[in-house]
Structure 1
Amino acid sequence: MKADRTLSISSVATSSTYVEQVIDTIGYGRFQYWLLLLCSVGYFAVCAELLVVVFIQSELMKEFNLTPTRYAIFPFLTSLLSMISSTAFGYLSDRFGRKWPFVITLLISAVAGIASAFAWSFWSVVLFRCIVAIGLGGLSSLDYLIYVEFTPESRRGLYSTVVFVGGCLGVLYLAGVNLCDLSFSGIPQWRVLLILAAAPLLPAGLLRWYFRCETPRYLMARRKVSEAHTVLLHMADENQCERGTVPDLDEFTARTEEEFSNGKSGISDTDQLGFLEALRDIYNGEEFLRVTLPLCFIWLLQATAYWGLTLFLPGFLVESGLDANFTIFLMVLCELPGAATIAFMLKKLSMS
C-alpha cells in the first residue's frame, strides 16, 4: 500500500490537473474511507426519504380521503423542487464551497422529515415534504461530487458503487421496517414511518458536522492555493503517507500558478459567473453535444421509467392481489446482487 502512495507525481497520468496528480499520489486510505462512510450513510438516509412516499401512499390517501389525481400533486411538487434544488445547490457549492451544503442539506431534510410526521392536513404534509425535497435535491448532487473530488481517479468508479449500495440499504431498511405493524396508541403507521425514515439523517448530519473539509478542487477554483495545500497535507497525514508526498507550499504554488497561466488547470473560475452564465458555461461546446446531451436524454428515460413504476407499483400490486410491502422488499433486495456485479465489473475494467 505504501508503495502506491510514494509514487512520484510525474508518474501520474499527465492528462490530470496538478491537484489531481497530488491526490493520486496520496492514494486511497483512512481519509477516503471515513468520507466513504459519511457519503454512504448520507445516501442511505436520502434513498430512505425518497422512497417513503411510496410506502405511505395508501394510508395517506385513506386518512385524508384523497383521489389519485389529487394525491399526484404530492410527488409532482416534491420531485419538481428536488430537481430545482439540486441545480441551485450545485451552483451554490461552486460559489460558496461544498462543506457547508454537505451538512446543511442533510439537516434541512432531517428536521422537515420529522416535522412531516406531525402534519395536521394533506397540504401540511405536502409543505413539509417539499422542504425535505429541497434538502434531498442538494444531497443527491453533492454526495457523489464531494466523494469524487477527494478520491484518486483510479478508485472513483469502484468505490462510488459503495455509496450506491448505501442507498440500496436505505430503501431496504425502510421496506423491512414497513413489513412490521408500527401503529401504536392510535398513531397511524404512516406517521411512525416518516419518523423512522428521517431518523438516520440526524446522526449522519452530526458526523458530517465534524468533517467540514473543503475540497482541494473548489479551493483551487477560488485561487486559495495555500488552503488547498493545507487540505492535501491533512489528507496525506490521515493516510499515513511518507514525508514529502505532498510538495512544499512554494513548489505547489509555482506548479499551480503555471497551470493557471497556461490555462491547463481544468478548473473554471466561478467567481464572476452568475447563475445563467454558469449554466451556459456547462451546456456549451463540443463536450455538451457529444457527451452531456446524450447522457441527459438517457437519464431522463431511465428516471421516467424508474419513478413511474415505483410510484404506481403499490396500487398495481394491491389490485393484482399481491402483498405490496413484501413484494417491494424483495425487489429492493434484488438490487444488492446487481450492485455487487457492477462493482466487480468496474474493478475488472480498471485493472485491464
Structure 2
Amino acid sequence: TITYDEAINELGFGLFQILLMQVCGAGCLFDGIELSLISFVIPGIKQQWNLNAIETGALGSIVFFGMMFGAWFGGFLSDKFGRKLVFCSSIFISSVFLLASCFSVHLGMLITLRFFVGVGLGAMVPCDFSLMLEFLPSKNRGALLGLLQIYWSVGAALECLISYLCIEVISKQFEKGNLLNDGWRWCMFFSSIFGFLIFFLRLFVPESPRFYLIKRNFEKVDQVIEKISKLNRKSLNDKKVRLATTTRTQSSMKLFSKSRDFQIEMTHQEEFKSLTIFNQFKMLFSKEFLFSTILLFIIWFMLSYGGWGFNFLIPIVFEKIQHNNVYLNSFYVTSVGFISNILTLFIIDKMSRRTLMGITFIFTGIFTALVGVSNNPYSVLTFSMLANFMSSFPWALLYTYTPEFYPTSIRTTGMGACSVFTRLAGAITPMFGTLVLESGYFIPFLTYGIALIIAGICSFLLRKETLNSTLQD
C-alpha cells in the first residue's frame, strides 16, 4: 500500500498539473490586474470628483477591507464545504462587482462596490494556493507554487497596457462630459472581462482529493486520482493506495473504500466534520502552531504594508516627479518582477525557505527605503526596479511556506487568517501614503523599508522548515 502523498508523487507532474496551473495562475493574473488598476484610475477619479486626501486614501483602501472579510470567511468555507465552491464563486463575485463599478455615479457607490470586489479577491487567493498545493508532488513544490507569482507580474504589466489604452486612447474618442470619456470606467470594464473568462475555466477543475479524504468521500477520491492518472499517462500498477490523515489524538479507526480495494486509514474524522469557524481559528493557536502563527501574521502584515504601499505609491510618485511616461516607468518596474519570478523557480527548492525569505526581505527593505532618499528621477526608477526585483522572492516563498506549514483541515483557514493581516496592512497603507505624500515621499518609503526588514527578521525565527516536507492532513 502507498499513501496519498506517495500516490501523487508517483503520478508526478504532468498534464493535469499543467492545466491546473494555468487556471490557478489566471486567478493570480486577475489579482495582479485588479490590485494594479486602482493606482492608475485614482488620479482621474480624484480630479473628476474633486476628492481630498482622506477620500482618495479610502478609495485605495476599501478593497483591502473587503479582502479581509473575504479571506477569513473564504478560508473557513473552503475548509468546511470544499475548495471548489470558493475557487469558483470568489472570482465570479469580484468580476460582477468590478463590472458594476464602472457604472458608479458617486464616491459612495464606487466605494461600496469596490468593497465587494475585495471580498471576492480575499477569498480567492488563499484557496487558489491551497488547492494547487494539494495536487502537487513534493519534488519542486516550491518552484511550482512560485510559478504562480509570475502570473501576478504578468497581470500587473497587462494592467499598465490596459490603463494606457483606456485612459489615453479609448476615452479620448468621446467628448468631455460623456461617461464614455472617463478612462477609469473603461479600465474597470475591460479588466472585469478577464475575471468572467477565468470563472468559466474554473468550472472544469475537480475538488481537492485531500478535502474529500477528510470528509470520508472515498469514491470521489478514487475518481480524482483516476483522472490525474489518465491525464498524466501514468499508472499506479495496481498498488493499494492508503490515504492517511494525521491528527494529534490517540484514537483511530480503519475504513475501506467500497469502490476499490484501497485501504484508508483515518483518525478522529468526526472532529473535522464538526469544526466551526471558532474551532478552526482556535486550532491555529494550539501549542503546535502558536509561535509560528504569530510570526506569520507579523510577516504577512509587514510584507503587505511595505510591498503594497510601494506598488500603490510608485505610479503616483512617477506622475508627481513627471519623469517620462508614468505607464512606461510602471511597466519597467513591473517587468523586473517578472524576471525575478522566473529566477525564483531555480532557487526556491535549493535553499531553506526561512533563510531565503529572511535574506530577500531585508534586501527588499533596503532598496525600498533608498527610493525615499533618492533626489532625482533616475535614482527613483533604479531603486524602484531593484526593490521590485527583490520583492518577488519573499512573495513567492511566503505563498509557498504558509500552506505547507498548516495541515489540510485548517490549511485554507490558516492562509485566510494570514491574508486578513495582509489586507489590514493593505487597507492602512494607501491612506497613510496619500496623507503624507504631499510633504514628500521620504517618510512613506522609509517606513515601508523598515517594515520589510522586520519581516525578514521574523522569517529567520520561524521554527519549522517546510522544504521537501510531507504535507499534513
Give the TM bin, normalised by the shorter chain: 0.7 to 0.9
Counterpart selection for 1:158 from 136, 143, 161: 143
1:304 and 2:309 matched: no
1:216 and 2:209 matched: yes
What does residue 148 of structure 1 align with?
133
What does residue 25 of structure 2 align with?
40
- The one-letter code sitting in structure 2 at the alignment partner of 1:296 is F
Gaps of 5+ in 2: 242-256, 352-466, 469-473
- Contact 2:219/2:258 (CA < 8 Å) preserved in 1? no
What does residue 276 of structure 1 align with?
278
Structural mapping, 1:112-261, within 5 Å:
112-180=97-165, 181=168, 182-183=170-171, 184-186=173-175, 187=180, 188-211=182-205, 213-242=206-235, 244=237, 247=240, 249=257, 255-257=263-265, 260-261=266-267
Q: CA separation of 1:245/1:122 partners in 2, compared to 1, >3 Å: closer, same or farther?
A: farther
What does residue 448 of structure 2 align with?
none
- Aligned-pair distance for 1:283? 2.3
Q: CA separation of 1:268/1:68 partners in 2, compared to 1, >3 Å: closer, same or farther?
A: farther
Structural mapping, 1:6-25, within 5 Å:
9=2, 18-25=3-10
- Contact 1:19/1:216 (CA < 8 Å) preserved in 2? no
Q: CA separation of 1:69/1:132 partners in 2, compared to 1, >3 Å: closer, same or farther?
A: same
What does residue 292 of structure 1 align with?
293
Structural mapping, 1:44-83, within 5 Å:
44-83=29-68
- Contact 1:45/1:200 (CA < 8 Å) preserved in 2? yes
1:317 and 2:303 matched: no
1:98 and 2:83 matched: yes
Distance 1:65 1:122 in 2: 10
Q: CA separation of 1:210/1:343 partners in 2, compared to 1, >3 Å: closer, same or farther?
A: same
% identical equivalent positions: 20
- Contact 2:219/2:259 (CA < 8 Å) preserved in 1? no
**Partner secondary structure for residue 263 of structure 2:** helix
Q: CA separation of 1:245/1:84 partners in 2, compared to 1, >3 Å: closer, same or farther?
A: farther
Relative to structure 2, which stretch is displaced further, 101-110 or 312-321? 312-321
What does residue 13 of structure 1 align with?
none
Relative to structure 2, which stretch is displaced further, 186-195 or 89-98? 186-195
> How big is the alpha-carbon RMSD for the aligned residues of Structure 1 and Structure 2?
2.2
Distance 1:342 1:269 in 2: 39
1:110 and 2:95 matched: yes
Distance 2:31 2:239 in 1: 35
TM-score scaled to structure 2, two decimals?
Answer: 0.65
What does residue 3 of structure 1 align with?
none
Matched residues, number: 328
CA deviations 1:210-264 (Å, max 9, x no partner) are 22x111110111121222122111111111112636637569776322xx24x6x
Structural mapping, 1:340-351, within 5 Å:
340-349=342-351
Distance 2:114 2:147 in 1: 27
What does residue 12 of structure 1 align with?
none
Distance 1:93 1:253 in 2: 29
Relative to structure 2, which stretch is displaced further, 292-301 or 122-131? 292-301
TM-score scaled to structure 1, two decimals?
Answer: 0.87
- Contact 1:232/1:246 (CA < 8 Å) preserved in 2? no
- Aligned-pair distance for 1:347? 5.0
